[in-house]
Amino acid sequence: EQHRMMSDDVRKRILQHGRRAKREQAETIQAPTAPTALSFPIGLQIKDPMTRLREEAVRRLLERGVLRTENLITALLQIAPEDYMQEQSARELLGQIAARTAHTEPILSLQSLAMALEALEPADGDRIANLSHHTAYTAAVLAELVGPEGAVMSTAAVGWGEARRIRKSWTQYPQTTLKRGDPTVGDKDDDSVDRMLIGGCLPRLPKSLRMQLDAKEGRAVAFLGPRFRAQDLVRIVRRQEEFEEQLIARAQVPILSGKNGWLQESTPA
């Protein structure tokens, strides 16, 4: 009788929490440093140089124990970053080009992104706010993880031309949207989100972004700290008006500019 009287929204949310709890339970049984067994081989397309770079980068992350979730591993193997950014940037992301030195803007590496996505733990049907460097690529990976019933809502400080290019690259992902605006503020007009990925450095996570998380186990993953030194990768879980923070790792990523970022920049016209 309770099941029959539930609204569709409540029923869907309970099922999402159940799937997430089942996955988390399975991951706690597996040792965090144990290599992840894949149901498919790596190296089927070694003739293509960019595919080879992508597979080598994923293999390194598997060997280091960074990647543990098979659907994330599959998404990183299948989605070509060069389809969503310039090839130079894709090579930087995949680690072919060495990290830059102090007092220059660091590179967002695949390892940093993978650590953030593992901590975020997106599930089927999740609504995710994407506030990241490499907006188009990160959103494509998130779209694979949440499936066709989910939603990935990106906010980026880009011009009209770049916004058109990004939206065009998402042809196969109708669950993705892009708003031109300040990524350090997010989309205040949107409903609450199940997950929030902040794939760039902020001095701290502002209250305006915290309050956009769903009051029942909404989760944000963010890089917080100084501009030119390693930052804390932090997971923040909201339970009503309480926020629980957990330090996941240390990394160095590019900063996000905007009202709550290290640099104050206005939205492009």
The packing angle between helices 135-146 and 160-169, to 10°, is 30
Q: How many Cα atoms are found within 13 Å in the side-chain-facing hemisphere of 58?
A: 25
State phi, psi for 166 to the nearest 5 degrees.
Answer: -65, -50
What long-range pairs does 22-26 form, CB within 8 A, spacing at least 24? 23/69, 23/121, 23/123, 24/121
pTM beyond 0.85? no
- The better pLDDT of the pair 25, 84 is held by 84
pLDDT tens by residue, 82-132: 999 999 999 999 987 655 544 456 788 999 999 999 999 999 999 999 999
Mean pLDDT of all residues in the chain?
Answer: 85
Let me know: does 247 contact 234? Beta carbons within 8 Å.
yes
- 232 contact partners, CB below 8 Å, separation of at least 6: 223, 224, 225, 247, 250
pLDDT of residue 97: 67
Decide if pLDDT at 18 tops 90: no
Measured CA to CA, the distance from residue 243 to residue 38 in angstroms comes to 35
pLDDT of residue 236: 96
pLDDT of residue 186: 78
CB count, 10 Å around CB of 218? 22
pLDDT of residue 26: 61
pLDDT tens by residue, 150-186: 999 999 999 999 999 999 999 999 999 999 999 998 7
DSSP character string of 232-248: EEEEEEEETTEEEEEEE
Containing 59, the helix (H) or strand (E) segment is helix 49-63
What would the two tokens of residue 109 be?
A: 């590496």
Measured CA to CA, the distance from residue 257 to residue 134 in angstroms comes to 14
pLDDT tens by residue, 225-266: 998 889 999 999 999 989 999 999 999 999 898 899 877 655
pLDDT of residue 48: 85
